Structure 1
Amino acid sequence: MTTAAKARHIPIRPEWLAQHVEAPIEPDFPIIDAHHHLWDKPGARYLFEEMAADLASGHNVVATISAEGKTGFWTGGPEHLRPAGETEMIAALAQRCVAETGSRVRIAAGIVGYVDLSVGQAAGDALDRHAEVSGGRLRGIRDTSAWHADPEARGSVILPPPGKLYDPGFRRGLAELTRRNLVFDAWMYHTQLNELADLAHAAPDTRFVLNHQGGPIGIGPYAGRRAEVFDDWLYFMKKLAGFDNISVKLGGFGMLMSGFPFAEHPVPADSSQLADAWAPYMRACIELFGAARCMFESNFPVDKGTASYCTVWNAFKKIVADGSPTERHELFFGCANRTYGLGLELDETIPRAAGSEASGR
């Protein structure tokens, strides 16, 4: 696996983000952030302190799911076991969160690690190693399959081989994951969604979570073709919705891949602008899969290049402001809690929308 020659992440600009600050909508509404990263890469540190600062912006995030980011690997030992170093690193950060005096958020309550499933049965040993070092937090694996022949269409810095999900070795590795009752996080572009349909048909006992609402591309050859891409994307999302073992993460539109120009604006967009742009995709997912199979994700720090943590969650709340209390509970808490087996319980009943503040656009 190689990295794409051209970086595909929008840089984080604290001074630019500081130009627009919002108060959190419904600050008491409980949230599980279903997808973020923790890493220390050149020029891109996002560890305990950085995430804690974002979490302090006012929303009631009670727990998070940390997704792999290809960092912190062990430098020795069998190659297929080395990625467990990242899981060990994140588990240590999670333990620090628990130990922090007054810490109210369970950062990395669930961990989605990385294993190269194409090693086949040997993936079982790797999965067991992740579980050993995770402190009981391992909930799934993400083995990215996002591939496109045109480099200008690629929205990921990772370039896996084409047709990864069809590889017999990969499918044997996936069977090892399924035996351990782990979730498979699927990250691909909208042009590959039929590959997931084929995989879900072949592996009905595997639980799949499609990342970033299926990766509709808005850059390169797809720039200026949003309506056409939406129709193509919707066709395959309707097909995927027919598989009961697939859930969807709603988020990631702050990435360069989406083609939304907000990062180019002199002042950051407000939550209403973001909600207007993102709503057609997210509402379509909720309509197709149902709220019980959809969960919101920040995708931080990647999406921080487009908007602040508080603004992103305000946008999500505006997108589903007209949903029932039960539906909104599922989208922000229930689906992630159940899918990743966090076992969290709320002390209070499902909160209801707080009138005009929750529903204003």
Structure 2
Amino acid sequence: MATSNSPHIPIRADWLATRCEDILWPELPIIDPHHHLWDRPGSRYLLDELNADISSGHKVEATVFVQSRSMYKQAGEERYKPVGEVEFANGVAACFASGLYGPRRGCAGIVACADLTLGAEVDAVIERLLPAGGGRLRGIRNSTAWHAHPEVRSNPIQPPAGLLADPRFQAGAKRLSRHGLSLDVWAYHTQLPEVLELAWACPDVSIIVDHIGGPLGVGPYADMRDEVFQDWKSGMRDLSALPNVSVKLGGMGMKISGHRHHELDVAPSSDALAADWRPYIETLIDLYGTRRCMFESNFPVDKGMYSYHVLWNAFKKICRGCSPQEIADLFHDTAQRTYAVDIS
């Protein structure tokens, strides 16, 4: 059997099935603005798996696919190989748009990879990505989450250090606005000063900070949750002053978060998840407002720690005190504005 070097927690369907909950607010429209698709040794998450999750009870109207090194072209120049991933995601989107798989519009938006260290030369790559996306390409993301400690890993392939502060990367990022594209950034809390520098350098680019800004809870941070929270909060507060920055609320089911729900005998409840996540999510809503915050699943990465329907129940419990418009922003409207998702 093929083995995997994945840093992600393995998905155990039988364990996830030990927790089943009634769906809260089943008529609330949701756009899931962050998930992946791949077929890797020991891990398969394609159309059928995605459709099963988004059909599990919550009213998910559409999703946004985010780059994950899937289905790259094998031939041609290295810079153009990510075009294959966009063709693949657009094909999945076309399957959903056919209506054969129900009313949901999976991959209605696509966030692709284009090597931003190419600077101005990234334009040529984007000019191939745009038609490959069939009108669905909305943004770019590079692999940028980096830390020197070997236990702090969330990518199968480690990116270079200091990429976000690289002048070549910033030059490439500045090109995105002329193509009408946003920039997703996945970075750990230790990199938030670099994200701030990037956001200052690219005021015309919509920058979306993934996974609540990556507060770490492993390696040297394993017993420093309070200290990490304060450092993370400070970094996210600085970023919130820039109007071109928004944030995705989710991604807390990765090993690097330090949460260990996957070690329980029974899969976690939405109450347990809400209790753990509330301080982070409420802090970000206070800092950014709901018009710059959106809930995300980060599936299948987070699926090793909890199921899709329990995840969205937890989010709903956290924002029970929000107004109807704030709830609409968090679950649907901010994602639709940010990625111009067409759910017609």
Residue matched to 1:309:
308
Q: Provide structure 1 residue ranges, at least 5 long, that are not aligned to the other structure.
A: 346-361
Deviations, residues 180-233 of structure 1 (Å, cap 9, x unaligned) = 120100000000001111111111101100000000011111102111100000
- Alignment of 1:240 with 2:239, yes or no, is yes
> Which range moves more in the overlay, 334-343 or 203-212?
334-343
Contact 1:110 1:139 in 2 (8 A): yes
Residue matched to 2:172:
173
Deviations, residues 289-347 of structure 1 (Å, cap 9, x unaligned) = 000000000000111101110000000000111100000000000100001112547xx
- Alignment of 1:270 with 2:269, yes or no, is yes
> Which range moves more in the overlay, 121-130 or 250-259?
121-130
Q: Provide structure 2 residue ranges, at least 5 long, that are not aligned to the other structure.
A: none
- 1:6, distance to aligned residue in structure 2 (A): 5.9
Residue matched to 1:81:
80
Residue matched to 1:118:
117
Contact 1:189 1:216 in 2 (8 A): yes
Residue matched to 2:158:
159
Q: Separation in 2 of the partners of 1:19 and 1:45?
A: 21
- 1:43, distance to aligned residue in structure 2 (A): 1.4
Residue matched to 1:27:
26
Where 1:151 maps in the other structure, the secondary structure is: coil
Give the number of equivalent residue pairs.
341
Q: Separation in 1 of the partners of 2:44 and 2:135?
A: 25
Where 2:31 maps in the other structure, the secondary structure is: strand
Residue matched to 1:295:
294
Contact 2:61 2:343 in 1 (8 A): no
Residue matched to 1:188:
187
Deviations, residues 29-67 of structure 1 (Å, cap 9, x unaligned) = 000001000111111111111111111210000000110
- 1:116, distance to aligned residue in structure 2 (A): 1.1
* Normalised TM-score (structure 1): 0.92
Residue matched to 2:53:
54
RMSD value, Cα: 1.3
Residue matched to 2:67:
68
Q: Separation in 1 of the partners of 2:157 and 2:23?
A: 34
Contact 1:153 1:222 in 2 (8 A): no
Q: Quote the sequence identity (%).
A: 47
Q: Which amino acid aligns with 1:20?
A: R
Residue matched to 2:15:
16
Q: Structure 1 segments of 4 or more deviating over 6 A?
A: none
Q: Separation in 2 of the partners of 1:81 and 1:224?
A: 43
- 1:153, distance to aligned residue in structure 2 (A): 2.2
Contact 2:211 2:252 in 1 (8 A): yes
Q: Separation in 2 of the partners of 1:203 and 1:15?
A: 46
Q: Separation in 1 of the partners of 2:194 and 2:319?
A: 29
* Normalised TM-score (structure 2): 0.97
